[in-house]
Amino acid sequence: MRRALLLLLLVPVPFAVGCGSTKAKATDGNAYSVRDVERAFFQADVPFQGEMLPQSNPYLRPPAGTTLASAVALPKANGKHVQAFLAGLNRATGATEMAYVFDTKKSADEAVRAKPLSRWLESNHPVISVQKRNVIILAATGGDSGFAQRVRRAIAALR
């Protein structure tokens, strides 16, 4: 019930749109599913506002001028392995969180080899950049330490 209410109140972020199946799963047994990541962030009180699932429906596309790798220019080979791009934005503080959910840890590792994680997101405020198995999480704190703590709690919840 709470989740349904939250989904009705969310405002989409300009670079990600919700589309596709709710059953996006990682193909690697040790990998996190899209829903695992969403649940961890929701429970830490930093829910994502937008979700893009490119493989779920090839006829759906993000808004003009955006791509799945909006924040990071992923090589095409790596982009094909992204199961979902999740994003949230607090317009008041500029705090942003994003997660790239790859199909396997190997695919995420290859993306990080192609472009070092420290270069995936730049900001005037502290940036959290973490890879946990098949998920790459990026957050620009916008100077909000409470937000940073909640993001770190969400990351820790992914076991």
Give me the average pLDDT of each 10-residue run along the chain (159 residues). 37 36 56 95 93 61 47 67 90 92 94 92 92 96 94 95
Total domains present in the chain: 1
Interstrand relation of 50-52 and 82-89 (parallel, antiparallel or unpaired): antiparallel
pTM metric for this prediction: 0.74
Residue-level pLDDT at 68 = 46
d(CA 43, CA 47): 8
Residue-level pLDDT at 69 = 46
Asked whether 22 and 128 are in contact (CB, 8 A), the reply is no
Residue-level pLDDT at 72 = 62
d(CA 66, CA 102): 19
Partnered with residue 137 across adjacent β-strands are: 99, 130
Q: Residue 98 sits in which domain range?
A: 2-157
